[in-house]
Every structure is written in C-alpha cells, then in structure tokens.
Amino acid sequence: MSYKRVLTIQDISCFGQCSLTVALPIISAAGIETVILPSAVLSTHTAGFTGFTVRDLTEDIPGIAAHWKKEGISFDALYTGYLGSAEQIDMVSDIAETLLRPGAPFIVDPAMADNGKLYPAFDTEYVEQMKKLTRKADVVLPNLTEASYLTGIEYRESYGEDYIKAVAERLLDDGAGTVILTGVSYDAGTTGVYTASRSGSSYYRHEKLPHSCHGTGDVYASAFVGAYMRGKTPEEAARIAADYTVSCIRYTDGDPEHGYGVKFEPVLGELIKMIGEE
C-alpha cells in the first residue's frame, strides 16, 4: 500500500464532535496521513448552541495554499466539508486544481443543510457557490436536504425509488462523478445509502436507530474517505461508512447528556477492522 496523504478543509468546532475534530481522528485511524486546513474556528457547532464565537479564516487560505505550493506539497485527495464563507468556495476550487496530484479524487460533502433546512450560517449565495463545487467533484456525499438544494428538486420527507434515482441522476448530469446519497429511507425501520455513477447504482439498506445525533454526516463522510483512500470501491466504502456510523449512533444512543455529537471514538476499532478486511 502506498502511503496516502489527504487534505481536508472544514471548520474546527472546538466543542461538539463534528467537522475537523471528527475527520482528523477518523481518517488518521484509517491509516491515512491527514492534513487539515481550517475554514473557520467556532467555540461550538451551530446546532443547538446559542452565542457561539466564530472566526472566519477565509483571508488565511490563499497564503497557506501558496506556501504549500512553494514547498512542493501535494495531495492524494481533497475532502471538503463545512466551509466558512461563500467566498471561500472559489479558493477551495483553486486548491483542487493546483494541489491535487494527477488523478487524485476531489470529494465534497456539501455540509450545509439537514431536515429540510439550511444551517443558520448559510444563504442562497452559499448554495449557488456549493453547486459549482459539487459539479467538479469526483465524489459528492449529500443528504437529501442538501441534494434538494443542489438540484432544485423539491425536498420530500417520503418518496420512492424514482425520486431518489431522479435526484442522483441530476447530480451526475450536472457533473459529479459519483453520488452517495445518505439517509435514504423507504420505510420506518430502515434507512440506507444510495450510490450512483455513470456505470450504475446500488442501495445499501441498514437499521434505522430511533434517535438521530448531530454530526453523523461528518462521521459518515470521514469514514467513507478513510475506506475509499484505502482502496475500497465507492460502494464498499459507502457500506463500511454506514456500518460504522450505525455503531457510533448505537454507542451514543440513550445518553441525554450527549445530544451534541456522536461518540465515535470507542468504535474506531470496528472501522479499522472493516477497512482491513478483504
């Protein structure tokens, strides 16, 4: 196995178990060197907390990227999540063009919305910019709310296979290489992941636990990146990430003190084992 180096760009929510505080340990545990570029620093994430502090790091990004370029530093993948501003999205696009090694995948989690709504920090300008980024992505990992914002297809709480196929096809037509739609649930007891590319599609169905936790999208995308960079196919990585995320939610479930994030750390061994299996 060659030693892979991934760059991930997303915020640091100092408290809250999401974005970089999840991506760095999970991708590292997968055996991949993980370089970080913080898009912003917040005291907590923005879901369920009030009065959090935010420092937008947009101004720092061009200088950091220029330094890396001068040093000859390059990456085997770029994985982006929650970004600090609409303006930052062009900078990220530039980094994908200048610092990725030839053939290295650009993986975009358009972390901007959930449960039918945009996160509080974002507006239509951010959505328009994110559309540009996902069109360039080799792999895009939206939940259904994000997919609806990206495609303009109406958000639905209940749907059938035709709706999911139409959403994924629109994202592929727009330019994404592989689409991984998360939280695709056709019945009350199960949920799953729909993977689509120009060569076909598949659905991995798994148990739906009674409570949803904040931060599961970041845990999922990070585990996907780790497995994918260790040579799994998109379908295999999508399944491993789903099984890992379910284990994390099961471990967290029922702790009223821990609604702010997912207890992903004690379950990392399971992820490492799944990635190590042939």
Q: Is 235 in the site for ligand PXL (CB under 6 A)?
A: no
Q: Which is nearer to ligand PXL, 16 or 234 (CB)?
A: 16
Measured from each CB, the residue nearest to ligand PXL is 46
Q: Is 20 in the site for ligand PXL (CB under 6 A)?
A: no
How many angstroms separate the CA atoms of 236 and 46, rounded? 32
Cα–Cα nearest to 158, from 140, 183, 181? 183
Cα of 211 vs its chain's centroid, Å: 20
Give the orientation angle of helix 234-252 with respect to helix 268-276, to 10 degrees: 160
Near ligand PXL in 72-101, by CB under 6 A: 82
Closest approach of Cβ 212 to ligand PXL, in Å? 12
- Residues in contact with 173: Cβ distance below 8 Å, sequence separation at least 6, in sequence order: none
Give 27-60 as a 3 state SS string.
HHHCCCEEEEEEEEEEEECCCCCCCCCEEECHHH
Closest approach of Cβ 93 to ligand PXL, in Å? 20
Closest approach of Cβ 218 to ligand PXL, in Å? 5
Q: Which of 4, 8, 9, 13 binds ligand PXL (CB under 6 A)?
A: 13
How many angstroms separate the CA atoms of 151 and 221, rounded? 20
Near ligand PXL in 24-43, by CB under 6 A: 42
Q: Is 145 in the site for ligand PXL (CB under 6 A)?
A: no
Q: Is 134 in the site for ligand PXL (CB under 6 A)?
A: no
Whether the CB-CB separation of 21 and 12 falls below 8 Å is answered with: yes
Q: Is 218 in the site for ligand PXL (CB under 6 A)?
A: yes
Using CB under 6 A as the criterion, which residues of the chain lie in contact with ligand PXL when the complex forms? 11, 13, 18-19, 42, 45-47, 82, 111, 119, 215, 217-218
